[in-house]
Amino acid sequence: MRNLIILMAMATLIATGGCSEKKSAVTSETPKAFIEQSTVEKVMKALSESFGSEADFRIERGVKQVANLWRESDGSVAAFEKFCQEKFIADEAALENLYSKLETNFEIFSGYFHKMDVLLKEPLHIQGPDIESVDMMFGSYNPAAHLTDDFFNNKIAFLTALNFPFYSLKEKTELSENWSRRDWAYARMGDRFTSRVPADIIQNASQILTAADTYISDYNIYMGQLLNEKGETLFPADMKLITHWGLRDELKSNYAGENGLEKQRLIYSVMKRIIDQSIPQQVINKNEYSWNPVENKIIKDGTETDATPEPDKRYEVLLNNFHAMKAIDAYSPNFPTFISRAFEGGMEISQEDVERLFTEFVSSAQVKEVAAFISGRLGRPLEPFDIWYNGFKSRGGIPEEQLSAITSKKYPNPKAFEADLTNILVKLGWETSKAEQITSLISVDPSRGAGHAWGAEMRSDIARLRTRISEKGMDYKGYNIAIHEFGHNVEQTVTLNDVDYYMLQGVPNTAFTEAVAFLFQKRDLELLGIQNTDINKDHMMALDNFWGSYEIMGVSLVDMRVWKWLYENPKASPAQLKEAVITAAKEVWNSYYAPVFGGTDEPILAVYSHMIDNPLYLSNYPMGHLIEFQIEQQVKGKPLADEFYRMYTQGRLVPQVWMKGAVGQEIAIEPTINAAAMALEALK
């Protein structure tokens, strides 16, 4: 899951290219155009006279694209003119032949460079010996950093840009009604080379993103060392939780059981120490000290010791991400900021539209009604961490400890889980032969971090499912996450191998793969043979989706505010950024959460690790919730496998067009809000 954003970011970098000009330092200067407008018009006129006015659109778009990308090092003005006149293809059959050759060879390059990246990062991602500096050197190296640079040098990039126009998001949306599958594939080919980023900037970004991922992957808290105000330990001695995912999931699990509320409050104290960086350096990924997070005291051998706060490292990592992404801005004329690249370019939904959807949702009247319902079930006023309330999830009346006993016995190691993947798909409705075909392309490995799914980049290569499994086997939390990641892998495998054009492989954006992962994750108990006989399960599912959307939309709103602030304050220090993040979290809380929970200036929305290692990824989660709910309504009463295949083999269309084809309407908040209102009415 977490690796998706690194892949998305690096895919953007590779797609936007590396130029032939070698630079010794990162710069934000906009490259000066070498080809003048008069030359562009001269070439367009000559081509129009040769091929007729029916080719004028492609001629104009293609020549301008090449002119914007051409540098003096690529050849003289005369060389530019000659290239355009010789390489522009007007004949449909010849154009289709060119497309086929480009598509085949791009798959070869993408596939094998991806495979190299996977293997180089194995020491960083898979459980094993401690990470050494040489592992970081190889793992942060991007073998494809110079690939697009080479494509410009050998003119393949220019050939592609000349013959396959780039269409804006607005154009793709408006023209799609009349587009064939081949038209869509051509349009995606036109997305391939739209700007040129120097190779050193690509390599720098790769190193920064890898360092951020490694920082978070090794950020664990030893829960058995936590002390309450009485000096007591409440958690198992061997419990080690990654932040924030592990802490959050442990907090969720304590809505039942002994000392549940006290444990939750202790975990929230840990989170606040992480957010404001008052957490002692001595307790991060170490179990040498006992720690009282409320009073922020550390103890060793019965003696209190001076604590050394983490020196704003969290925000230094975030700031490094910003500078790495901002360095690309000057080379991205279509998407001149990382914000625009993440939304209009990556998600293919405008940032303004995403923010509007989320703001309308978290402001809806149903929020207070659902909150009141939760408070009634808990028998107490809500506290900030109740944004993670999970009492709508039914475990068939089985305590989590018993579920962990079932999963650890069934899956003692990663290979046991891998061996059961085909059976899981069959239980979800796939035919055995198709299930075997899909799962033969998925490998399960023990993850060093929280776990992630990493798809292949060429057909017949394998997708990787990384999950945490202790020596005692896979506990229920790990199993739940592994089912989520398996959903990603199934989507990744099907949309690569079963979509008709390679340039259409994948999904519109990562929110759509999150939607599949949520569909799988919700059925985790069914896959264990535990049937939910609750007559209200659909209503509970609706409320769970609503509350989960409410929680993560607030985090996403904070993430967007932080990146806007960064662009307004590009010279900020880590300490200044820390204050800005905390301020943004408090502002969003005070606007949309304090009226529901009570209590102002809570920083909890700033705890998400995705903010630190996955730049602007968070919006994909709430969008995934909205999409998943609409898809869930679509598949209800129908074979899941058939509906999944029908929807997801559409491939990488733009999101709203994909949604219309899948469920008959665009992405909307109303289905989720209305279902929550109906659920509350029924449960009353």
Residue extents of the structural domains in the chain: 3-195, 219-276+278-311, 318-380+533-683
- Angstrom distance (rounded) from CA 635 to CA 663: 9
Order of all β-strands in the sheet with 303-305: 290-292, 297-300, 303-305
| Cα distance from N-terminal residue to C-terminal residue, the chain | 37
Q: Which pLDDT does position 30 carry in this prediction?
A: 64
Closest by alpha carbon to 588, among 580, 344, 575? Answer: 580
Running DSSP on this structure, what letter comes out for residue 344? I
Round to whole Å and give the CA distance between 604 and 272: 7
The pLDDT value given to residue 14: 40
Q: How many helices (H) and strands (E) does the chain have?
A: 33, 8
The pTM score is 0.82
CB-based contacts of 350, cutoff 8 Å, min separation 6: 169, 343, 344
Question: What is the three-class DSSP state of 291?
Answer: strand
**Which pLDDT belongs to residue 1?**
41
Which pLDDT score is estimated for 387?
Answer: 97
**Dihedral pair phi/psi, residue 459, rounded to 5°:** -60, 140
Question: Is residue 515 packed enough to be buried (19+ CB in 10 Å), middle (13-18) or exposed (0-12)?
Answer: buried
Mean pLDDT by 10 residues, the chain (684 residues): 43 41 47 89 97 95 96 96 98 98 97 95 91 93 86 97 96 95 98 89 91 93 96 95 94 91 97 98 96 97 95 97 95 92 93 97 97 96 96 74 94 96 97 98 89 92 92 91 95 98 95 89 91 83 94 98 98 98 98 95 96 93 90 90 96 96 95 96 90
Measured between alpha carbons, how far is residue 419 from residues 413, 423, 445, 589 in Å? Answer: 10, 8, 12, 45
Q: Which of 493, 491, 553, 556 has its CA nearest to residue 521?
A: 491
Instruction: Write the CA distances from 577 to 296, 338, 376, 572, 615, integer angstroms.
Output: 23, 17, 38, 6, 15
pLDDT attached to residue 2: 40
3-state secondary structure of 467: strand
Coil/strand/helix, residue 449: coil
Distance of alpha carbon 420 from alpha carbon 417, whole angstroms = 5
What DSSP string describes 211-260? HHHHHHHT-EEEGGGB--TTS---S-TT-EEETTHHHHHHHHHTTSSTTH
